[in-house]
Chains A and B, each alone.
Chain A
Amino acid sequence: MAYDIQTWVSVAAYIGGGVAIGLGAVGAAIGEGYTAAFASSAISRSPNLSGEIFKSMLVGQAIAESASIFALVIAMILLFSDFSSQSSLMIFVPISAGLSMGFGAIGSGVGSGFPAGAACTGISRQPAMSARLTTNMLIGSAVCQTPAIFALVTSFILLFTNFSSSPVSPTWAAILGAGLASGLGAIGSGLGGGLVAGASCEGIARQPKSETTVTNVMLLGQAVTQTTAIYGLLVSFILLFKIFAPTDSIAAAMALLGAGISIGLGAIGPGIGEGFTAKSAVAAIAKNQKATGEITRVMLVGQAVSESTGIYSLVISLVLIFVI
């Protein structure tokens, strides 16, 4: 039974849609469950605050869920758009978009659960701070969503770029590589950013006076944590917008796929590791505000060292794209 290209494009769109929301549902569900668990224990500690804690839990869960909603949007577009193309390249586009968004939503979904959980515990511990805690949680979770937004950007670019004039042979690998680079690259940073935001909510609840400093250091820590996700986005952009010479060699194509996998997987570890660093730094600053400058500097240096493995992956990706 021989199928034409159009059939395969539809097949790919359905598979891509399934992958997008299937993987995309994982992270947010875990994060929201984590939040609810902490909200329950917080209510058991101070039952009279249950309304406040319940509200905070719902707000936190709503933000955590936005990663999944991004995945839902991509899945909907993949299912209901009309991908009419005679180029066999279009078979790879929906799958790559789905992989990018699906993997990309995991980290941010889980990560956003941490600050929400910590905020619920914090409200039960320090009811007077509940408004400030909720604000801090909102900021932390929103920054935590950034890696998922990067994955979303890559998916959208994949879906709305016209690849019909590109040569099929290396471009199919570039398309798949771009999706994997952004998608896998977002996992670690999403998780790490969540750890930092969680520590800051806990720190504010324990030491209300340290609020401004803790929020600032949290933002800084999260920003550095996201650097590797940005490398993933950068490699995706290069893969998508560089014009590759047509080739029949499978090796040249695989180099591009390898570039995406290299930075994608390589970004996971640094993201989580830098998250641990910044988490402890934020907790330490909440305890000892006087040492803020010193702790921040050590945090930045420690994160830079942790990030060096991500930079190795980036270098290998760039070598695979430009040298080989």
Chain B
Amino acid sequence: MEELGKIHQLIVPLFGHNMVFNLEVIFMTWIVIAILILFGIATTRKKSMLPGSLQVIGELFVAQLYDLTEDALDRKLAKTYAPLIFALFLFLVLGNWIGMVPHLGEPTKDLNTPLSLGLMGFVIAHYAGIKSKGFKAYAKEYFEPIFFMMPLNVIGELAKIVSISFRLFGNIMGGSIIILVVSHLTWSIVFPPFLNAFFGLFVGAIQAFVFTMLTVVYISVQVK
């Protein structure tokens, strides 16, 4: 229970400011990235018309996620944004699941990770909007339905970043605290596997899916 809320930080002083690095989160993020890269290499190494088992898994992922993207965006945009969506989803799923391995922790448990991913989605969505509609039409949407709704529209857009990132953060962080506390209360007998299955596997996968889908939908709302 003592480890709750303790964060290993590397603080680098730079021109009078302190740059703070959360070491654990960085390590975990890199582990997730490394596993994903290895997975990518393994699934594409031996490409053939008669796919091996690894290639089938990779193709399954790509086909499923591509269909999802194409449902929300149209075909042309889906081609552009699908790789981003795959990467986002796989990173989030693996990031949410990695906490089930002892001594590893979810990078998404730290608000910085979901917040930066949410910010990324926000920037991409608005870039796509400006690119497809032109800046004038894009800016005009903020003054609809009436001009004085502008501040509310801006707050509403900014609130999207907050909501998308806090949802992921709250779920993963809440799940990991529950697992820790209940395991502590029951001396790690019987309960932890079930808790890990529910909060790790199940909630982790669902929240990764929700985050990815919302990013796609935010892009599609801006584009149309």
B182 contacts A by Cβ under 8 Å: yes
**Is there an interface contact between B221 and A300, defined as CB atoms closer than 8 Å?**
yes
- The 8 Å CB contact of B181, one of A77, A219, A297, is A77
Q: How far is the CB of B115 from chain A (nearest CB, A)?
A: 12
- The 8 Å CB contact of A233, one of B170, B203, B213, is B170
- Chain A residues within an 8 Å CB radius of B55: none
- Chain B residues within an 8 Å CB radius of A73: 178, 181-182, 185
Main SS at interface, chain B: helix
Complex: A226 Cα to B210 Cα, angstroms: 12
**Is there an interface contact between A226 and B213, defined as CB atoms closer than 8 Å?**
no
- Chain B residues within an 8 Å CB radius of A293: 224
**Contact A149-B175, Cβ < 8 Å, known A161-B5, A230-B167:** yes
**Is there an interface contact between B217 and A220, defined as CB atoms closer than 8 Å?**
yes
**Is there an interface contact between A150 and B174, defined as CB atoms closer than 8 Å?**
yes
B36 contacts A by Cβ under 8 Å: no
Contact with A along B182-193 (1 / 0, CB 8 A): 100100000000
Contact with B along A144-167 (1 / 0, CB 8 A): 001001101100100011000000
Complex: A68 Cα to B1 Cα, angstroms: 23
A202 contacts B by Cβ under 8 Å: no
Main SS at interface, chain A: helix
B63 contacts A by Cβ under 8 Å: no
**B residues 170-217 with Cβ under 8 Å of A?**
170-171, 173-175, 177-178, 181-182, 185, 198, 202-203, 206, 209-210, 213-214, 217
**Is there an interface contact between B152 and A311, defined as CB atoms closer than 8 Å?**
yes
**Is there an interface contact between B213 and A139, defined as CB atoms closer than 8 Å?**
no
**Is there an interface contact between B210 and A234, defined as CB atoms closer than 8 Å?**
no
A32 contacts B by Cβ under 8 Å: no
- Chain A residues within an 8 Å CB radius of B13: none
**A residues 212-247 with Cβ under 8 Å of B?**
213, 216, 219-220, 223, 226-227, 230-231, 233-234
**Contact A142-B206, Cβ < 8 Å, known A149-B170, A311-B152:** yes
Query: Footprint of A on B, CB under 8 Å?
Result: 1, 4-5, 68, 71, 152, 155-156, 159, 162-164, 166-167, 170-171, 173-175, 177-178, 181-182, 185, 198, 202-203, 206, 209-210, 213-214, 217, 221, 224
Per CB-CB distance, the 7 closest pairs between chain A and chain B, nearest first, are A149-B174, A227-B163, A153-B174, A230-B166, A230-B163, A150-B170, A156-B177
A sample of 20 cross-chain residue pairs with beta-carbon separation below 8 angstroms, ordered by A number, consists of A73-B178, A73-B181, A77-B181, A139-B206, A142-B202, A143-B206, A149-B175, A149-B178, A150-B170, A156-B174, A219-B206, A219-B210, A223-B167, A223-B214, A230-B162, A231-B159, A231-B163, A297-B221, A297-B224, A311-B156
